[in-house]
Structure 1
Amino acid sequence: MTDAPAARDPATSLYDRAGGASGIAAIANRFYDLIEQEPEYAELRAMHAPDLLPIRVSLTEFLSAWLGGPRTWFEERPGRCIMSAHRAMDVTQRTAAQWVHAMSRALAENRIEPALGRQMQQAFLGMANGMIPR
């Protein structure tokens, strides 16, 4: 007789399902490693400052808050939203696609559970497309 897989506790937050502070930092850091090292993300990389450390921290804090963890990103930026934070970056369809692709790779490489990964990818796709000026 084999044991059935343990059921996931429905009360577990998305933040915890993504690995908490260390899991989310790993996703953000892998994302920025990819755009820094992979030529296919060169246009996306060019949109960022030379020093990626501050934006690595910012993305980690944003994802943490967005997934139900500490709300540091929002507390440090009262009244600001992620969309407005990107308005000056001149996001194009191409750079939006690069962002979603690199983030999808970061999720997969950090072994985010498939259902959560798909949910996050769909949300990221909507965010990325919403940042393209109309």
Structure 2
Amino acid sequence: MLRVQSEPFDAGAELNAFTAAATGAGAVVSFTGVVRGDNGLSVMEIEHYPGMTEAAIAAIIDEATARFGLSDALVIHRYGPLAVGEPIMMVATAARHRALAFQGAEFLMDYLKSRAPFWKKEDGGQWVQAKDEDEDALARWQD
């Protein structure tokens, strides 16, 4: 399941609905990313190319599902102006066992942080550059 949207979402309600639909799963893992107020940041602007973004994320969800035997996965990612404290994204995974659900969630989060086609600008000024630690996190999943 994938949604790319500008509207806020309720992570608790999303997780409850995802868990209720995760029949046969022995584990559900979730992560919600929020805008940090680092260095006086007040607004983060996230841009994307509709269609391209959804296709790229759908492909990585399919890869995670196959690779970790997930019974279901959810990715919600927002775009547009986001204030400090607002949710940016959410990942939820369901699997028969907790290790696979955790690995699937981490894989999706690492991909979203490093490769998903989103562009971030802080306070209407500088574009956010890729970070070495994000690339290192993604590299652990390379075969």
Q: Same fold (TM over 0.5)?
A: no
Specify which structure has the higher proportion of strand. Answer: 2
Specify which structure has the higher proportion of helix. Answer: 1
Query: Scaled by the length of structure 1, what TM-score is found?
Result: 0.36
